[in-house]
Structure 1
């Protein structure tokens, strides 16, 4: 019996249990790539993402990853390499989407060193060193997309987000520098800055407090809040060959929020 033709273009999407990560994984798979969907605290969510991809005819697996634990990255790379060989008969990935993270604000006067360090570990140090750890298996001509936030850009300054936004801004700057450094391998590096999006951030705030949606929509040129698919489609575009001439950019995907 002939074995199926392996899918050799594979993307790793961190934080793919729900929201933007899940949408990105689904959209990337819809373009024909295999997907490794990582999760931390919600394995059932990642398995649901995998099931949705498979139901649509795509190929995906789920792997655990705590983006705040850089000491686990070598073991993750080994597990990832074994999974790539088993599922896709390859040892490399075409794309890395650094999406895992958490939201929520904390006022400056209430900020603690522990809370600040958690922002740092998960939102900046984690994606930075995961990229370094996986770099040897990212193909020449591959792509990296880092999920930042509109809160790191001028015009979207809100009280209580200084720590969160500082890390997201750091990720944007790091992305630009990595685009320059990795250009010799033709690896493209971009960041995206979603605006307010209907995700699980802040404990499903939009579902629990729907009354806040109107005010946010009124500050958005296109008159609504974002949906995960709005962001996922842009990520899928950026890791595809259609975006082969885009690197070093921070792209706001926010429907004209806070223009």
Structure 2
């Protein structure tokens, strides 16, 4: 029977790389994104895998309910299955500003997407997770080290890590593992693609990293596929940083 993985924010960046990596490991992938873009599905199929696209806005509880129904219907139709084996809560938002420029809307939006969204989506999908399923919440190295103008984003990721530990304890009796991956600086289109497109920014951050470079999306995706594998079956409630040793 095909193992099923659902990845949020799967249309770009870390989510896209993770969806492709899981497909290479033989997972049928539910590629969930706010746009419902099927481009990632085509990429997976072209590489010999199987996938379906689902539209979800994790900041909208009604969208989560609709996406859950759509995903389950698609899984049944595509793979004749009724459970999900891997959930990757990757969708996130970064609204960066110094203290004097932070707005209430910034705080509400950041926590709605980065904390409430993963919580409510996990809640909706838990009845449909297989025995021994694996959940990965995508955090950030900024939950460990400080950086100017990132207070709200960093706080939301720290909250997500605490949520991860709580859910690991609560879902442990079903053999469900819940962990967080904390990427360091990675060259994606996140935050307008600044790190991907700015040579100066990548150079400055590389100098702060033990391995001497910023991350590539595949660095993070491969760590996620390793974490959900049977080789790490005894790992739950953990925060695993994948940052190349930034700000040691």
TM-score of the two chains, using structure 1 as the length reference = 0.93
Q: Please say if 1:144 is aligned against 2:138.
A: no
Q: Which residue of 1 aligns with 2:112?
A: 121
8 Å Cα contact 2:188-2:196 kept in structure 1 = no
Q: Which residue of 2 aligns with 1:162?
A: 151
Please point out which of 45, 53, 67 is paired with 2:44. 53
Q: Could you tell me how far 1:77 is from its partner in structure 2?
A: 1.3
Q: Which residue of 2 aligns with 1:32?
A: 26
- Long gaps (5+) in structure 2: none
Q: What is the SS of the residue equivalent to 1:24?
A: helix
Structure 1 distance, partners of 2:171, 2:5, is 18
8 Å Cα contact 2:196-2:202 kept in structure 1 = no
Q: Which residue of 2 aligns with 1:11?
A: 5
Q: Could you tell me how far 1:78 is from its partner in structure 2?
A: 1.1
Structure 1 distance, partners of 2:138, 2:157, is 8
8 Å Cα contact 1:104-1:201 kept in structure 2 = no
CA-to-aligned-CA distance 1:53-78 (integer Å, 9 cap, x gap): 11121101111000110122222111
Structure 2 distance, partners of 1:186, 1:90, is 19
- Long gaps (5+) in structure 1: 1-6
Q: Which residue of 2 aligns with 1:232?
A: 221
Please point out which of 17, 21, 34 is paired with 1:23. 17
Alignment of 1:165-204 (within 5 A): 165-204=154-193
Q: What is the SS of the residue equivalent to 1:167?
A: helix
Please point out which of 101, 126, 129 is paired with 2:92. 101
Q: Which residue of 2 aligns with 1:76?
A: 67
Q: What is the SS of the residue equivalent to 1:122?
A: helix
Q: Could you tell me how far 1:14 is from its partner in structure 2?
A: 0.2
CA-to-aligned-CA distance 1:167-186 (integer Å, 9 cap, x gap): 10000011011111100000
Structure 2 distance, partners of 1:190, 1:138, is 15
Q: Which residue of 2 aligns with 1:4?
A: none
Q: Could you tell me how far 1:35 is from its partner in structure 2?
A: 0.3
Structure 1 distance, partners of 2:92, 2:71, is 20
Structure 2 distance, partners of 1:101, 1:221, is 26
Q: How many corresponding residue pairs?
A: 248
Q: Could you tell me how far 1:47 is from its partner in structure 2?
A: 2.1
8 Å Cα contact 1:190-1:248 kept in structure 2 = yes
* 192 and 207 in structure 1: CA distance in 2 versus 1, 3 angstrom threshold: closer
Q: Which residue of 2 aligns with 1:253?
A: 242
Q: Which region of structure 1 is more displaced relative to structure 2, 93-102 or 206-215?
A: 206-215
Structure 1 distance, partners of 2:187, 2:42, is 22
Q: What is the SS of the residue equivalent to 1:258?
A: coil
TM-score of the two chains, using structure 2 as the length reference = 0.97
Q: What stretches of structure 1 move > 6 A for 4+ residues in a row?
A: none
